[in-house]
Amino acid sequence: MFYGVDLHSDNVKVALLGEEEKIPLTMRCSFGSSSFEKFLKGLTKDDYIAVEASTNTFWFYDLVVERVKRCIVIDTHQFDIISKSMVKTDKRDAIHLVKFLKYAILNGETLPEVYVPPKEVREIRQLFTTYNLFKKQIVMDKNRIHSLLKQNGCKISKESLDKEKTKQLIFSLPLSSTVKVEIELIYQNIENLTEAINKVKEEILKKGKIFDKEIRILISIKGISVFTAIGIMSDVVDINRFPNAKKFCSYLRSAPKVDSSNQTTRIGKINKQSRKLSITLLIQSINHFRSCKKFDRFYIEKRKGKSAGKVRVAIARKVLVSIYNMLKREQYFYYMDKGCYEEKIKETKIF
């Protein structure tokens, strides 16, 4: 039996199709209902399921993967008949999924499949999402303090708002009691968020032990900390998933789209339908990478006639190519600073 599943926050639309059948049957089940339990119990080791990628897809995947022969998570961005359909309903989506699933399985074709990482890796990814959310909230809070100060004619840079002297200076200014109360509450919120960030970071470092070998290789590049290495590996999971460096860079959002026809080739923007954590972490360390002569020469060469943003992405991609080759060959960075590497080993609690 083949199942096409259109997943929602509280229910699921299912289309069923047997090997000999041409017209799918459809049903809707609410999570936790008897019909949903009946659907789960009816699954067998001969069944195939195709489900759209969404927020709760991995949860559903964990429920059914041991019950069926194969569960495939579909990337609908690459599935034109669903993503570009003029008439889009739950029933149509489920039917499209089950029909293409049946065709692909019976004819040995491939579907645009989303890789499902192990549960422990998914937990690390979730922690990084929370970490980045807290960081954004702190930036918003600082912007608010800066805005309040500007509204009252005070010139204090955003960069200095973390300093204790700056805080004392702000509360000594002739500001209204309302403004002072507001700034005080925002500072309290920043302190709470900072404490939360430190706890999340500790949890990430603790769970990152599953990538012990890969971390040791990655931190041999100056500019990549243990924390950054865990972030990269939570995206990559297994380097053997990628046949070449080009695929690797594309997956980590550092490869531009290329439109080529005849003798005309247009280089577009980077593909944004891919993992973004690694590229974000690497771009934050661009200045550290430039301390390596190899990357600094590349930076100087690329910055001629290009915007700063494009140059940063180009450097990040250069680093990712090195990372790909290092992980594939299980080799340390050729230009490794041994002193810096030893310090990283000492500072971390993982090793």
Indicate the pLDDT class of residue 314, thresholds 50, 70 and 90: confident
Q: Is the pLDDT of residue 84 over 70?
A: no
Which residue type, as a one-letter code, is found at position 244?
N
Indicate the pLDDT class of residue 54, thresholds 50, 70 and 90: confident
Mean pLDDT for 243-252 is: 91
Output the pLDDT for position 228: 94
Question: Using CB atoms within 10 A of its CB, is residue 207 exposed (0-12), middle (13-18) or buried (19+)?
Answer: middle
- Looking at the chain, the whole-number percentage of residues with pLDDT higher than 90 is 54
Q: Is the pLDDT of residue 81 over 60?
A: no
**Greater pLDDT, 86 or 25:** 25
Q: How far apart are CA 33 and CA 56, in angstroms?
A: 17
Number of residues assigned to the chain: 351
Q: Is the pLDDT of residue 265 over 60?
A: no
Output the pLDDT for position 291: 84
- Looking at the chain, the whole-number percentage of residues with pLDDT higher than 70 is 91
Work out the number of other CB atoms within 10 angstroms of the CB of residue 296.
Answer: 13
- Per the prediction, the chain carries an average pLDDT of 87
Q: How far apart are CA 295 and CA 272, in angstroms?
A: 24
Work out the number of other CB atoms within 10 angstroms of the CB of residue 151.
Answer: 10
The most confident of the ranges 14-28, 87-101, 108-122, 187-201 is 187-201
**Residue 135: C-alpha distances to residues 36, 191, 201, 223 (Å):** 39, 12, 12, 20
Output the pLDDT for position 303: 80
Mean pLDDT for 265-288 is: 78
Mean pLDDT for 69-97 is: 77
Mean pLDDT for 169-197 is: 94
Output the pLDDT for position 305: 76
Mean pLDDT for 236-261 is: 83
Give per-residue pLDDT as tens, 88-100: 788 888 888 888 8
